[in-house]
Amino acid sequence: MARAGLTADRLTQAAADLADEVGLENVTVSALARHFGVKDASLYSHIRNAHDLRIRLAVLSLSELADLVSEAIGGRSGRDALVAFGLAYRGYASSHPGRYAATQLALDPDVAGESAGRYDDMVRAVLLGYGLWEPDLTDAARLVHSAFHGYVSLERSGAFHRHPRGVEASWLRSLDALDAVLRTWPTA
C-alpha cells in the first residue's frame, strides 16, 4: 500500500490549519489521522503523543507570530512601533485563532526558549524606544504583553460582545492609552 508521506512537520502544519478551522481543543490525534487517511497509531512514528503535537504547534505558532510582528515593527519606533505591533498581534489572533490559542500553552523553558524569547525580545525592543530601563522595562513589557493577550483572549471569549461599542475602535484607543502610559511611565 502506498505511504502517506507523513512527517512531524507536515503533521504540525495540518494540525495548525485544523486548529484554526475547528478550534485547538478539537485538534486530536484521531482527527489528524482521518485527515491523512491513515490509522491513529501511524502518527506515533512521527510524534511522541498528543501533548508533543501541541507543543510543536505552539512553537510553530509563536514563530509565525514573531515573524509577523517583526515585519510589522521593522524600521518603526515609539508609538508607530507599538501600534504596528498591536495591530499585527491582534490580526494574527483573529485570522489564526487556533494557532493563537496554541501560543498560550505552558511551555518548557528549554523547548520554548527560542520562539517565545524572540517574541519577548521584540516587546522589549519597542519599549527601549520609549527610553525604559530595568526594572521598568520588564514591568512595562509584562503590562503590554498582558494587555495584548488579554484583549484578544477576552474578545474571542465573547466578553466584549455584551456592549455595542466596536471592538476595533476600542483596540485603537487602548493602543493610544498604552502609548501614553509608556511615554510617562510612573517611576517608583
* Count of residues that bind DNA according to CB under 7 A: 23
1 binds DNA (CB under 7 A): yes
| Residues 57-60: contacts with CB under 8 Å, at least 24 apart | 57/12, 57/15, 57/16, 57/19, 57/24, 57/27, 57/99, 57/102, 58/102, 58/103, 58/105, 58/107, 58/112, 59/107, 59/111, 59/112, 59/115, 60/12, 60/13, 60/16, 60/99, 60/102
Q: Which of the listed partners (its own copies, DNA, none) does 157 bind, with a CB threshold of 5 to 8 Å by partner kind?
A: its own copies
Smaller CB separation from its own copies, 8 or 181: 181
Question: In the stretch 21-40, what mask flags binding to DNA with x, by CB under 7 A?
Answer: -------xxxx-----xxxx
- Binding site residues, its own copies, CB under 8 A: 104-107, 109, 113, 116-117, 120, 134-136, 138-140, 142-143, 145-151, 153-154, 156-163, 165, 167, 169-170, 173-174, 176-181, 184-186, 188
